[in-house]
Amino acid sequence: MRIRTADVIVTSPGRNFVTLKITTDDGLSGLGDATLNGRELAVASYLSDHLVPLLLGRDADRIEDTWQYLYRGGYWRRGPVTMAAIAAVDTALWDIKAKAAGMPLYQLLGGRSREGALAYGHASGRDIPELLDSVRSHLAEGFRAVRVQTGVPGLGAVYGVASSAAGTRYDYEPARRAGGGATPAPAEETWDTRAYLRHVPSVFEAVRQEFGPELPLLHDGHHRMTPIQAARLGKDLEPYDLFWLEDATPGEDQAALRLIRSHTTTPLAIGEVFNSIHDYTTLLTERLIDYVRSAVTHTGGITPMRRLLDLAGLYGAKSGMHGPTDISPVGMAAQLHLDLAVHNFGIQEYMRQSPLTLEVFRTSATFQDGLLHPGENPGLGVEIDEEAAARFPYEAAYLPVNRLVDGTVHDW
Ligand code: EZ4
Ligand code: CO
């Protein structure tokens, strides 16, 4: 079975997505997600200029060999652009293999270990009452775990907090779009870590008071703290029994996690901006983290994600794959098949896609009683409507930039 065509599809049904569609001479086709929020066209070029010419005529059955060929053969290893491009190829080839077998992909990954993947949703509010309403509406939608983010008194818009009131579409996260093809400058937000550290424990106090001790609660620090600040927050949040504290510090400083770990028993999650198993070696072998946050889309595909989760399992760490709306329904489906199959599943992040996005990507995935399931269709269970995709041309859009009150550009 040879690869006949490989098409890079860039579409923007509410937000930008990059998808690779591989078709074989047997007439089977597979999809892979290559979306890199705010840097989409770099990956599209990597695919169409550098990988597609190498794929045409190759044996579609040889997933591992193709992965190694693209990773080692490119000389320049790792990096989010490279790994998103390779991820799309890997995922599309798994989709094809599972379709050829007539099975949902999770069967080829060893069959299911559970009925569905426990999902967490994003509750947020500009203040505590708005947050409590948002938690309530998530519970009403069936969520059995929620991430909790709020505004900080004295600060304006805060990344991770919905700008619209609870009940309307939860739209904090899509990067800001320019409209009309213009290139926008990123929005700039002001950040004050001391004000944040004073405020967050009172938020969790209010949520536990209202919803009791059972509900799994998560929090995302969005890389904004120094190690010593993160250590303090972890300690301050211990009474509220978090499921995890995510991205407390910028993840590339792996040694920082040693300091945090030595001060707090709050479970730690990290890795949504990582793109390689090598980003985790210190963190896992020294048991500095509890959850691995990588996405299939940004880590080179299903093949290396499986390898990473197997390594994590040796050190008692579990999966918590990244699942915001900048992971397309294709990337999410790949993760859901892994979620079902792997032994050391922890939790799956889940934000609902917009109706426009779901017009372009037809997915068999379901969300019921707090659990996600990829469906039983052969392959990934996602198809792309290319005519619909063509109606939504790319629009430049960027994530915001954080500045401290003194004007310095900050981590976020
Ligand atoms: O900021 O997906 O845990 N989820 C997150 C996301 C990320 C965006 C970046 O593209 O932190 O909202
Ligand atoms: Co995050």
pLDDT for 282-326, tens place per residue? Answer: 999 999 999 999 999 999 999 999 999 999 999 999 999 999 999
Q: In what order do the strands lie in the sheet with 29-33?
A: 3-11, 17-24, 29-33
Average pLDDT of span 125-132: 96
Say if 30 falls within a structural domain.
yes
150 in the same domain as 255: yes
Coil, strand or helix at 29: strand
159 in the same domain as 25: no
Best residue for ligand 1 mutational test, from 322, 349, 353, 399 (most atoms within 8 Å of Cβ): 322
Tokens 């999902």 identify what position? Answer: 119
Distance (angstroms) between ligand 1 centre and the Cα of 298 equals 12
Please name the residues in contact with 113: beta carbons below 8 A apart, sequence gap of 6 or more. Answer: 340, 341, 342, 343, 345
190 has a pLDDT exceeding 70 = yes
Say if 133 falls within a structural domain.
yes
Average pLDDT of span 132-151: 97
* pLDDT of res. 170: 44
120 in the same domain as 28: no
308 in the same domain as 197: yes
**Residue 86 to residue 410: CA distance in whole angstroms:** 31
**Residue 188 to residue 231: CA distance in whole angstroms:** 27
346 in the same domain as 254: yes
Distance (angstroms) between ligand 1 centre and the Cα of 309 equals 20
152 in the same domain as 84: no
The total number of residues shown for the chain amounts to 412
DSSP classification of residue 184: P
Of 76, 107, 138, the one marking the end of a domain is 107
* pLDDT of res. 412: 67
Distances in Å between the Cα of 251 and the Cα atoms of 51, 218, 337 are: 29, 18, 26
Q: Which atom of ligand 1 is nearest to the CA of 222?
A: 11
CA 189 to chain CA mean position, Å: 22
Of 376, 391, 407, the one marking the end of a domain is 376
Residue 274 tokens read as 């990582």
122 in the same domain as 103: no
Tokens 């569609």 identify what position? Answer: 21
CA 300 to chain CA mean position, Å: 13
**Residue 166 to residue 74: CA distance in whole angstroms:** 47
Nearest residue CA, atom 10 of ligand 1?
37
Instruction: CATH number of the domain at 47, please.
Output: 3.30.390.10
Residue 158 tokens read as 């805060």
129 in the same domain as 98: no
Nearest residue CA, atom 11 of ligand 1?
222
| Interaxial angle between packed helices 193-211 and 128-140, expressed in degrees from 0 to 180 and rounded to the nearest 10 | 50
What's the pLDDT tens digit per position in 311-369? 999 999 999 999 999 999 999 999 999 999 999 999 999 999 999 999 999 999 999 99
Query: In 10 A of CB 186, how many CB atoms?
Result: 14
Say if 400 falls within a structural domain.
no
Protein residues within 5 Å, CB atom, of ion ligand 2: 220, 272
Say if 385 falls within a structural domain.
no
Ligand 1 proximal residues by C-beta, below 6 Å: 37, 173, 220, 222, 272, 322, 324, 326, 349
Phi-psi category of residue 55: left, alpha or beta, with phi > 0 → left and psi -120 to 50 → alpha:
alpha
Q: How confident is the model at residue 107 (pLDDT cuts 50, 70, 90)?
A: very high
194 in the same domain as 319: yes
117 in the same domain as 251: yes
CA 210 to chain CA mean position, Å: 29
119 in the same domain as 100: no
| Interaxial angle between packed helices 302-314 and 80-101, expressed in degrees from 0 to 180 and rounded to the nearest 10 | 100
Residue 97 tokens read as 């293999």
| Active-site residue list | 159, 222
Say if 143 falls within a structural domain.
yes
Say if 123 falls within a structural domain.
yes
Of 107, 142, 174, the one marking the end of a domain is 107
- Decide the pairing of beta strands 268-270 and 291-292: parallel
Q: Which atom of ligand 1 is nearest to the CA of 273?
A: 9
Say if 264 falls within a structural domain.
yes
Alpha helices in 212-272 (DSSP H): 227-237, 256-263
Instruction: CATH number of the domain at 198, please.
Output: 3.20.20.120
What's the pLDDT tens digit per position in 365-400? 999 999 999 999 999 999 999 999 999 999 999 888
Tally of domains in the chain: 2
**Residue 97 to residue 67: CA distance in whole angstroms:** 14
Query: What range defines the domain where residue 178 resides?
Result: 110-376
What's the pLDDT tens digit per position in 149-187? 999 998 888 888 876 554 444 444 556 665 555 667 888
Distance (angstroms) between ligand 2 centre and the Cα of 191 equals 17
Distance (angstroms) between ligand 2 centre and the Cα of 395 equals 23
337 in the same domain as 188: yes
